[in-house]
Amino acid sequence: MSIIVAVTSLWMTAQAVPPPIEQTTADCDRPVYASDRFICTDPDLSRQEQDIARRWQSAEAALPESPWIERQSAWFKRRAVCAFQEDQGACLRAANSEREQLFRAVLDPADGALRTARCVGDGRRQTLRLDTRGGALAAYGDEGLAWVAGPKTGGWSPFNRIISGRTMMIQRQDGVRISCRFTR
């Protein structure tokens, strides 16, 4: 009986499929995810993907450790879910746009076009400087970039989502919120 169990265990181990290697951008040489295949066959998305990969190399070291900044590998896994959206292309473009906004906030922060806001949430009160370029909000505190938030578009919900209203509400994927009000 123990020989049968041992042989069965060896057979099952041989049949196991290892998980895909961790990725931070689409791999067009060995596409694993359906979203990779879609990106690699669409010239515009493929170019956008190359830009993201290039900018990621520049931005990686400058990204602060924060629960309000989504790591590239986590964003990539979440973006793969676009394969289940009715309009996969729109979802992927919106996901890539969100990432480009984060990289712009890190690599090319606005100097003079910032508006001051008082923000409350996540267990603290703080005064932040907000960059409102490009339909997203990038918030800077004393230590640099605090978070980037954008609207929900194209079947994609950004990591930090802007919830409209008189007071801006920023909601992280896990439901934690920050409320901000412009001071001038």
Of the two residues 111 and 147, the one the predictor is more confident about is 147
For residue 1, pLDDT beyond 80:
no
pLDDT of residue 8: 54
pLDDT digits (tens, 9 = 90+) for 27-62: 788 888 888 899 999 999 999 989 998 998 889 888
Q: Which of 48, 73, 78 is nearest to 60 (CA)?
A: 73
* pLDDT tier, 142 (very low <50, low <70, confident <90, very high otherwise): confident
Q: What does the DSSP 8-state code read for residue 81?
A: G
* Domain chopping of the chain, boundaries: 27-182
pLDDT of residue 4: 62
Residues in contact with 32: Cβ distance below 8 Å, sequence separation at least 6, in sequence order: 20, 21, 23
Q: How many helices and strands (H and E) does the chain possess?
A: 5, 7
For residue 11, pLDDT beyond 60:
no
Q: Which of 153, 119, 174 is nearest to 130 (CA)?
A: 119
| Type of residue found at 79 | R
* pLDDT tier, 155 (very low <50, low <70, confident <90, very high otherwise): confident
* pLDDT tier, 98 (very low <50, low <70, confident <90, very high otherwise): very high
For residue 20, pLDDT beyond 70:
no
What percentage of the chain carries pLDDT values higher than 90?
Answer: 43
Separation of first and last alpha carbons in the chain: 78
Identify the H or E element spanning 7.
Answer: helix 2-15
